[in-house]
Structure formats: C-alpha cells, structure tokens
Amino acid sequence: MTKPDRSVIAAIAAAALFGLSTPLAKTLVGSVSPLLLSGLLYAGSGLGLAAILLVRALLGGGHAITRPRGADVGWLLGAIAAGGAIGPYLLMRGLQSTDAATASLILNLEGVLTALLAWFVFKENFDRRIALGMALIVAGGLVLSAGALTHAASLGGALAIVGACLAWAIDNNLTRKVSIHDAMFIACAKGLIAGGASVALALANGAQWPAAGVIAQAGLLGFIGYGLSLTLFVVALRGLGTARTGAYFSLAPFLGAGLAVALGAPLTATLLAAAALMAAGVWLHLTEHHEHAHRHSAQTHAHAHRHDAHHHHEHAAGWDGAEPHTHTHAHAPLQHAHAHYPDVHHRHDH
C-alpha cells in the first residue's frame, strides 16, 4: 500500500470514528452541559493517548516520539487556542440562541473555510478537480443537514457558530504545520489542553459536574471518537495536506447518519442524495493525479520514515535495518517529477 493510500484511509477512518461517535455522544447531552461535555470528551482523548504514549516510551523501539520545537511550538499552541478554546466557546454562545438544525447546517462551513484558508492563505495547491470534489462533499453535508432546517435563529447566534467554524479551520491549517511530528503526541497535547480549557470555561459559566458514570462514558467516548480520530487526522494531514484531509473528514456527518439508520432511524431520500453527492466528491479526490517537475530544498528534520525516493541517507553503524524508523535526518536538494500530494515533503509553489 502506498503512502497516499495510507493517508486517504487515515482521513476516512478519522471521519468514521468522529462521525460514529456523534450519535453516541447525543445520549449524554441531557445529563451534562454541551461545553462541559466537549471538555470531557477532549480530556478523555488526551488522557487516553497519554497512557499509550507512556507505554510506547517504556517499550522503546524505532518509533521515537518527536515533539514540536522552536517555532513549531507556537503553531501548535495557536492551533490549540483556536480549536480547543475559541471554537467551543463560540459554539456554546451560538447554541444559546440557535436551534440544533440551523447549527448543524452552519457547521458544514468548517470544511469550506478549512479549504479556503489552505488554498488562499497557506498557498496549498489545488485544481478544478479537487475544488469540485470538495464542493460536492460539502453539498452532500448541506443536503444532509438542510432537511430539518426551518427554525428562526438570531443573527448573533448564527455568526457565533460561523466564528467557531473559522476557529476550527484555523486549527486545521495550523496543525498541518506541525503534522510532521508524532501524530499521537500532537493529538494528546490538544486533548489535554483543550479539554482543560473547555471544562474550566464550562464550570465558570455555571455548569455542574455530572455523575461519575457519565464522566467515565464521556472520557471513553472522547478517547475513541476524538483522540484516535485526531491522531489519524494528523497522519492524514501529513500525507495529503489540509484541504484534501478536510474534504474526507467532511464525510463524518454522513457516517454518523449511517449509524443512526443502523440503530433504527429511517433511510430517507435526503440521506441517499447526500450519499450520492459525497461519493462523487470522494471519487474525484481518489482519482486525482498531480505530477510535474518540482524541486526539494535542503532541510533537516525528524519523523517516522522509510528509505524511499525522498530519504537517501546514511545510518550509524549498528542500525538494525528496521523500517519505518524515526531519527533526525538531512535532505539534500533534489529535483524530480512524480505524482504527489501536498504532503510534508511537497509544500512547494506552483
């Protein structure tokens, strides 16, 4: 399986875990405030991933944990602030005066804003095929959520939710800048810090602690639906870039709706229409072929890798030949042509 194939699978798996967790999270909404629930989900993801990281560190092996350093720390903190504090706060404010159906429709803007920022602010390459695929996937999400849309909502509440979408879009693009580092470490840091911030914000706004059983359920659901999902999302960012990963992740509402059908909800024409639009969009992305002569500048970094066309370097005596492995390595300048995505080694101008 090629690296792009693995990245696509990681993106769809991230969407599946998050989307399938949504119907399950709804069972907890009545017993805990929305923002506190969000914080517990994030905290559960951070604590669960921290436990795995601890086991990884104790076992050792070729997969060293690479952490952001220098300027990358700033990018990660910016992502956490935008997606883990500002986004949930604006969503909470918006939900106070906006019905759930309207909020669901507005939340589809996250994928659009993620792609627009990636393309026009962070200069990630795209073409008409990718733009059309993104549009079809988002259109499927709009169809999926528009069926119940009709209730009036205040302009202020709607704008707050739009602001939350923008915050998460910024989070996605800033996370891409540090995606070369250990995906699980990044997801763990985001979960712990964002979870703590959201819980503190919820308690400051008068939320009450739920029963211990609810906290445990939220933590476990957060570990699976947020922690593992976010880890896979970072892996996909590393291999596909922000806009393409965001497009695949936009499948989450459809996958959640599919689980709802499996649990007894009716299969509607709206769901089938949304599925057709999303399938067409995913097909356009899966069949993309982007190839041209491009130049790699010299750089030194550390991440898990195999000795492929982009990794020709020597090892110290005693290397056991295990791949993939993690260590600091240097890339010499290189010019060649092959099919590629805007991954961590292909962030060149077009």
3-state secondary structure of 304: strand
At residue 233, the pLDDT reads 92
Is residue 11 a contact partner of residue 240, using CB atoms and an 8 Å limit? yes
At residue 5, the pLDDT reads 78
User: Tokens standing for 208?
Assistant: 């009450």
At residue 338, the pLDDT reads 46
At residue 171, the pLDDT reads 93
Size of the chain in residues: 350
* Domain boundaries defined on the chain: 3-288
At residue 296, the pLDDT reads 54
At residue 188, the pLDDT reads 95
What is the residue-level pLDDT of the chain in tens, covering all 350 positions?
A: 455 578 889 988 998 888 777 667 767 867 788 788 889 999 999 999 999 999 988 887 556 677 788 888 999 999 999 988 888 878 877 877 776 556 666 777 888 888 889 888 888 877 788 888 888 888 887 787 665 444 445 678 888 888 988 998 999 999 988 988 899 999 999 999 989 988 988 899 888 999 999 999 999 999 998 899 999 999 998 888 888 888 888 777 777 777 777 777 788 888 888 888 888 887 887 776 655 554 656 666 665 656 665 666 666 666 655 666 666 666 666 565 545 556 665 565 65
Distances (CA, A) of 137 to 141, 142, 243, 249: 6, 9, 12, 10
Q: Which residues contact 254 (CB under 8 A, 6 or more apart)?
A: 19, 140, 141, 144, 271, 274, 275, 278
At residue 150, the pLDDT reads 47
At residue 170, the pLDDT reads 96
At residue 201, the pLDDT reads 84
Tell me the whole-structure pTM to 2 decimals: 0.77
Is residue 42 a contact partner of residue 276, using CB atoms and an 8 Å limit? no
